[in-house]
Amino acid sequence: MMDKFDVVIIGSGPGGYVCAIRCSQLGMKTAIIEKYNSLGGTCLNVGCIPSKSLLDSSHHFHDAVHNFESHGINFEGNVKVNLEKMISRKQNVVDQTVKGIDFLMNKNKIKVYHGTGSFVDSSTIKIDNSSGGVTNITFNNAVIATGSKPTNLPFAKIDKKRIITSTEALNLKEIPKKLIVIGGGVIGLELGQVYSRLGAEVSVVEYSNTITPFMDASISKELMRIFKKQKIKFYLSHKVFQISTSEDNVSVHAEDNNGNKVLFEGDYCLVSVGRKPFTENLNISSLGIETNDKGQIKVNDQLQTSCSNVYAIGDVIKGPMLAHKAEEEGVMVAEIIAKQKPHINYNLIPNVIYTWPEVASVGKTEKQLSDDGVEYKKGQFPFRALGRSRASMDTDGFVKILADKKTDEVLGVHIIGARAADLIAEAVTAMEFRASAEDISRMSHSHPTYAEAIKEAALAATQDRALHI
């Protein structure tokens, strides 16, 4: 007799495992299917968590080499990188985090199946495990949370030796002498900065005329200025058309916007040109579930597919590929199945880049507001004007607040600077409650903190009355 579940979730990334926990909390018999041996998906195993670990380690090294002396900390001899140990620490962080997910599955009595799940019909899933065994289980509701995988360039095979993705970049055995990064998005910039700090010569080749095109233009411009100061080179409006490798070298052939051929040579090439939904082998077509031209599963406002008892969340559907977006959707689906009435305001899901300085934003950019014909005002405040920034020597960046010209409601907040990833939560909270710039400006912010920049930017947006500039 087949096991039957109220909810079966395919994929154990942040969206899948959070959805499973919430289903269990709501009293549903829940199962999760994961094709890899470890739970947590891309984010925990080869994405957010390991990359943050390496960003942190490389930041410590960079500080030791460049900034410690200013703080009165002197070393005898050279500061050296032990890459093997750095990678090992990263793996320990990953392993601990994955164990945490295992604990949560047990705590919430969620049945875990390891294997590849595919739909037999609208109430049955077949699980093929690695040893060749097959298990069938039945469900009342299913959730597709299979995430995404890196996009390849059609003319360049990822050999995982010289031409690599973010997965391989997290486990290199040596620091590249010259690293060529194709793509000036989040992944390329974060990993580019890791290896730049450790001594690699990093070149970023980007097809568009700006890096991080989804961010406010002033933020992208400031980030590039700071990166150039850190000796990272940028080649914008360059179209890569060929990549070739030898034993210990990689050649990247590109064309600039004037049609001139440009050759980049290095020992590693990191391809980070985005990610695409992963829906292979799910057999969703047998249920009549449709995908769009980007390969994303089509869903309604309730995140239902065209098969009403099958839902989809996270990277496999439209919207930004963010772990916290997937988590919110996972909770929403669990509560919809439980006949509750949850909602997500997609406009208020923050975006973060974990470089240093960090970049974070929520709401609308200036371009979006202009395109929508919204009259807005803005207030901006630089971190260099804060006592806290000077004390820590983190003076790069600014906070920018965009507010409705008539009502003063905050419509967008954009931050580049120290601790931006954490500071953005204040903006999300304010905007969830539809606060005005004046509301934020009248809240007491502790001194000395980086958060004071938000208060000052709100004062600047209210009546151009920032106090400390």
Report percent pLDDT > 70 for the chain: 100
> Which pLDDT belongs to residue 132?
86
Q: Which CATH superfamily is domain 348-463 in?
A: FAD/NAD-linked reductase, C-terminal dimerisation domain (3.30.390.30)
Q: What residue spans in the chain does CATH classification 3.50.50.60 cover?
A: 3-150+276-344, 163-273
Residue 1 scores a pLDDT above 80? no
Do residues 329 and 349 lie in contact, with contact meaning Cβ atoms separated by under 8 Å? no
> Which pLDDT belongs to residue 2?
86
Share the mean pLDDT of the chain.
97
Pairing of strands 275-277, 310-312: unpaired
CATH topology of domain 163-273: FAD/NAD(P)-binding domain (3.50.50)
Helix axes 323-337 and 14-25, enclosed angle (nearest 10)? 30
pTM of the model: 0.96
Confidence of residue 207 (pLDDT cuts 50, 70, 90): very high
Three-class SS of residue 463?
helix
For the segment 64-115, what is each residue's pLDDT rounded down to a tens digit? Answer: 999 999 999 998 888 999 999 999 999 999 999 999 999 999 999 999 999 9
> Which pLDDT belongs to residue 130?
80
447 is catalytic: yes
> Alpha-carbon distance 316 to 261, whole Å?
36
The pair of three-digit structure tokens given for residue 226, joined into one six-digit string: 């700071």
Q: What angle do CA 147, 148, 150 make, to 5 degrees?
A: 160
Domain 3-150+276-344, what architecture? 3-Layer(bba) Sandwich (3.50)
Residue 392 scores a pLDDT above 80? yes
Count of CB atoms situated within 10 Å of the CB of 448: 14
For the segment 410-433, what is each residue's pLDDT rounded down to a tens digit? Answer: 999 999 999 999 999 999 999 999
Mean pLDDT over 292-316 rounds to 97
Do residues 373 and 391 lie in contact, with contact meaning Cβ atoms separated by under 8 Å? no
Q: Which residue is catalytic, options 60, 66, 71, 447?
A: 447
> Alpha-carbon distance 385 to 365, whole Å?
24
Do residues 58 and 198 lie in contact, with contact meaning Cβ atoms separated by under 8 Å? yes
> Which pLDDT belongs to residue 145?
98
> Which pLDDT belongs to residue 136?
96
Residue 299 scores a pLDDT above 90? yes
> Alpha-carbon distance 260 to 256, whole Å?
5
For the segment 116-171, what is each residue's pLDDT rounded down to a tens digit? Answer: 999 999 999 999 998 889 999 999 999 999 999 999 999 999 999 999 999 999 99
> Alpha-carbon distance 344 to 197, whole Å?
38
**Beta-carbon contacts of residue 200 (< 8 Å; ≥ 6 apart):** 175, 176, 177, 178, 179
Helix axes 452-463 and 420-432, enclosed angle (nearest 10)? 50
> Which pLDDT belongs to residue 75?
85
